[in-house]
C-alpha cells in the first residue's frame, strides 16, 4: 500500500508532552500489572483471586447468526464448555487475546498498517489495540489520559454531542474548527493555528468524526484529510479519529482513506533522499455498535502504545476490563465468519442505510424541497437545505423559516431551531435534535439533526409532512408578528 516508504514511529518520549498530569501519576494495577507474567509456560500462579469457572452454572452457549453471503440463511454457533470458560473468567485489561488478535489483523487489512507495538526497529509502527465498553468508554478515558485542565482542544464544529460534556468535565478550552460538506475546513484550521495567541499553550488534540459525521452526515474528502494530517505533523497535535460510521460508507466513489491509514501513505519529509512517513499522531476509535450490536458494548482504540497503556490503567481502576463474555461472543461470531464475510456483512449494513438515506431524501425533497408536494398543497418554496450524506445515519438540514418577505426580522443564520423543534414540531408529533446541542459554545443555529436509521417508509413520509406543517406554521406566525 505504501510502496517503499520508510516508516518512523514516534518514540515513547514524544508522548510525555501529551500525557496529562493525572495520566503520569497512574501506576499499573498491583495485580493486573503482573498478569502477563502468569503466561510464562511452567509458572504456577498464586496471583489473582480468580473464581474457578467450573463452579459457574453456564456449561455452553449456542446462538444463531445471519450468514452475510446468503440471504435468509442462518448458522448455529456453539461455544462449548472449554471454549466458554475464558468468557466466564477475568481476562486481560486490554481485551481477551483472541479478539485482540482478530481485530489487530482487521486493522492491518482495513488500514494497511503493520502491527508492531514497540516503536523500536525498522518498520515497527508502534501501535496496538485496547478494547473498551463501546468507543465512548475509550474516548472518555483517552481524554483523561491526554488533557489537563486549561488545555486547548480543537474540535470540529458541529461536533458529536457526546464529546462536549467529556471535554467540559476536563475543564479544557474547546476551540471550534468549522466544517462543511467536505469535512474540516483545513484553511480555517490553518488560520487558527497560525494565529494562535502567543504565550498560550498550543493545542494537543483535534477531535473529528470523519465518516458520516454525527451530526452533520459529512464524510471528509481525501484532500481535506491530507491537509489536516499535514497540519497535525506541522503543529504537533494528535488526531482523535472517532470513526463509528467507518463501515457505514455508501458513497459512489472509492472511500477516502482513514487518518490512521494516511499516516503510512503520506510522506512527511526525506531522509538521505528517501521519503519517509512519521507515524503515531493518530488515535483511532472504532465501534462494533453500528455493525454487530450496540448492546455488546464493544469498541476499540488503535494507536500509540504510550497512550493506550495509560488508558488500560484507567480501565484497570474503573471496571477491570470489558465483559469477557461479550468479547467471546463477538470473537466466536467474527472467527466463524472470517474477514471476507465480515466485510460482506458491513457492505450489507451500509447498503441497508443507503436505501434508508434514499427514502428519507426523496421525502425531504418532496415535502421541504420546494414545489407542490401533493394535490391540495401549494408551492411554499424551499423549506430546508441539506447535503446528502454518503455514510452513517444522519441528515443535517437547515430549516428555512425565513421567507424573502420576513427575513428582515432576523438574520437567517441567527435563527434557532430549538424552539421550533422542541415546541412546535413536538406539538405536531415529530421530534429531531436541534443543532445547537452539537455546538460546544451552545450558539444558535437553524440546523437540525435527523436520524433515519430506524424509520419505516411510512414514518418518514409522515415525519416530513409534519415538519413541513411546522415550518409553515412558524413562518406564518413570524409574518403575523
Ligand X SMILES: Cc1ncc(COP(=O)(O)O)c(C=O)c1O
Residues that bind ligand X (CB under 6 A): 134-136, 160, 162, 209, 214, 242, 244, 287, 289, 294, 299
Closer to ligand X at the Cβ: 116 or 210? 210
Closer to ligand X at the Cβ: 87 or 158? 158
Chain residue whose CB lies nearest ligand X: 134
CB of 103 to ligand X, least distance (A): 14
Strand order in the sheet with 269-271: 6-9, 274-279, 269-271
Closer to ligand X at the Cβ: 279 or 322? 322
> CB neighbours of 354 closer than 8 A, spacing ≥ 6?
250
Joined together, the cell numbers standing for residue 216 give: 452533520
Can you say how many angstroms the Cα of residue 367 is from the centroid of all Cα atoms in its chain? 31
CB of 433 to ligand X, least distance (A): 12
Can you say how many angstroms the Cα of residue 56 is from the centroid of all Cα atoms in its chain? 36
Closer to ligand X at the Cβ: 244 or 256? 244
Q: Could you give phi then psi for residue 364, rounded to 5 degrees?
A: -60, -45
Closer to ligand X at the Cβ: 126 or 244? 244
CB of 457 to ligand X, least distance (A): 24
CB of 330 to ligand X, least distance (A): 12
How many other C-beta atoms are found inside a 10 Å radius of the C-beta of residue 263? Answer: 29
Closer to ligand X at the Cβ: 190 or 255? 255
Joined together, the cell numbers standing for residue 452 give: 433515519
Q: Could you give the CA distance from residue 10 to residue 115 in angstroms, rounded to a whole number? A: 14
Q: Could you give the CA distance from residue 401 to residue 208 in angstroms, rounded to a whole number? A: 30
Are 432 and 425 in contact by the 8 Å Cβ rule? The answer is yes
CB of 297 to ligand X, least distance (A): 7
**324-368 and 81-88 helices cross at what angle (nearest 10)?**
80
CB of 218 to ligand X, least distance (A): 12
CB of 161 to ligand X, least distance (A): 9
Closer to ligand X at the Cβ: 209 or 264? 209
Closer to ligand X at the Cβ: 217 or 299? 299
Closer to ligand X at the Cβ: 180 or 274? 180
CB of 78 to ligand X, least distance (A): 28
Listed residue (255, 299, 261, 350) closest to 142, CA to CA: 299
* Max CA pair span of the chain: 85
DSSP state of 425: I
Q: Could you give the CA distance from residue 9 to residue 17 in angstroms, rounded to a whole number? A: 16
How many other C-beta atoms are found inside a 10 Å radius of the C-beta of residue 39? Answer: 10
Closer to ligand X at the Cβ: 160 or 367? 160
CB of 145 to ligand X, least distance (A): 17
Where does 127-242 have alpha helices with state H? 134-146, 164-169, 186-194, 222-235
The DSSP element (H or E) to which 238 belongs, if any, is strand 238-242
CB of 244 to ligand X, least distance (A): 5
Listed residue (254, 340, 284, 412) closest to 68, CA to CA: 340
CB of 315 to ligand X, least distance (A): 14
Q: Could you give the CA distance from residue 141 to residue 312 in angstroms, rounded to a whole number? A: 9
Closer to ligand X at the Cβ: 285 or 397? 285
Strand 384-386 and strand 433-434: the pairing is unpaired
Torsion over CA of 248, 250, 256 and 262, rounded to 10 degrees? Answer: 20
Question: Per DSSP, what are the bridge partners of residue 7?
Answer: 277
Amino acid at each position: 500500500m505504501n510502496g517503499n516508504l520508510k516508516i518512523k514511529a514516534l518514540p515513547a518520549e514524544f508522548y510525555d508532552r501529551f500525557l496529562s498530569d493525572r495520566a503520569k501519576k497512574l501506576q499499573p494495577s498491583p495485580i493486573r500489572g503482573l498478569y502477563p507474567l502468569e503466561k510464562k509456560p511452567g509458572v504456577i500462579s498464586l496471583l489473582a483471586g480468580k473464581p474457578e469457572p467450573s463452579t459457574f452454572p453456564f456449561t455452553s452457549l449456542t446462538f444463531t447468526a445471519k450468514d452475510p453471503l446468503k440471504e435468509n440463511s442462518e448458522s448455529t454457533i456453539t461455544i462449548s464448555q472449554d471454549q466458554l470458560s475464558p468468557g466466564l473468567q477475568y481476562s486481560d485489561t486490554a481485551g481477551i487475546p483472541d479478539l485482540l488478535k482478530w481485530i489487530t489483523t482487521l486493522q492491518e487489512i482495513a488500514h494497511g498498517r503493520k502491527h508492531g507495538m514497540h516503536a523500536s526497529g525498522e518498520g515497527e509502527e508502534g501501535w496496538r489495540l485496547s478494547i473498551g465498553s463501546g468507543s465512548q468508554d475509550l474516548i472518555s478515558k483517552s481524554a483523561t489520559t491526554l488533557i489537563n485542565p486549561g488545555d486547548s482542544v480543537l474540535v470540529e464544529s458541529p461536533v458529536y454531542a457526546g464529546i462536549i460534556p467529556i471535554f467540559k468535565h476536563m475543564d479544557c478550552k474547546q476551540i471550534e474548527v468549522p466544517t462543511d460538506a467536505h469535512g474540516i475546513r483545513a484553511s480555517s484550521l490553518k488560520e487558527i493555528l497560525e494565529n494562535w495567541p502567543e504565550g498560550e499553550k498550543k493545542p494537543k488534540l483535534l477531535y473529528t468524526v470523519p465518516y458520516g459525521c454525527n451530526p452533520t452526515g459529512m464524510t471528509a474528502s481525501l484532500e481535506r484529510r491530507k491537509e489536516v494530517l499535514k497540519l497535525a505533523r506541522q503543529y504537533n497535535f494528535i488526531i482523535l479519529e472517532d470513526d463509528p460510521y467507518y463501515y457505514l460508507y455508501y458513497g459512489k466513489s472509492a472511500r477516502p482513506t482513514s487518518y490512521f491509514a494516511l499516516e503510512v501513505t503520506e510522506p512527511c519529509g526525506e531522509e538521505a533522499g528517501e521519503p519517509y512517513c512519521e507515524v503515531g499522531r493518530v488515535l483511532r476509535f472504532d465501534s462494533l455498535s453500528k455493525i454487530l450490536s450496540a448492546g455488546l458494548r464493544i469498541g476499540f482504540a488503535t494507536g500509540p502504545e504510550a497512550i493506550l497503556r495509560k488508558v488500560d490503567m484507567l480501565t484497570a481502576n474503573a471496571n477491570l476490563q470489558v465483559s469477557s463474555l461479550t468479547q467471546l461472543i463477538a470473537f466466536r461470531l467474527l472467527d466463524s465468519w472470517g474477514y471476507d464475510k465480515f466485510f460482506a456483512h458491513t457492505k450489507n449494513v451500509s447498503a441497508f442505510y443507503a436505501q434508508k438515506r434514499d427514502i428519507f431524501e426523496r421525502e425531504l425533497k418532496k415535502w421541504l424541497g420546494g414545489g407542490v408536494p401533493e394535490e391540495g398543497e401549494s408551492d411554499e418554496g424551499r423549506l430546508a437545505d441539506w447535503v446528502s450524506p454518503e455514510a452513517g445515519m444522519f441528515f443535517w438540514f437547515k430549516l428555512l423559516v425565513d421567507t424573502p418577505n420576513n427575513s428582515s426580522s432576523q438574520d437567517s443564520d441567527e435563527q434557532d431551531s430549538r424552539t421550533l423543534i422542541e415546541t412546535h414540531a413536538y406539538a405536531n408529533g415529530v421530534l429531531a435534535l436541534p443543532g445547537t446541542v452539537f455546538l460546544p459554545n451552545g450558539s444558535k443555529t437553524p440546523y437540525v439533526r435527523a436520524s433515519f436509521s430506524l424509520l419505516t417508509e411510512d414514518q418518514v413520509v409522515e415525519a416530513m409532512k409534519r415538519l413541513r406543517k411546522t415550518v409553515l406554521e412558524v413562518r406564518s406566525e413570524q409574518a403575523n408578528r
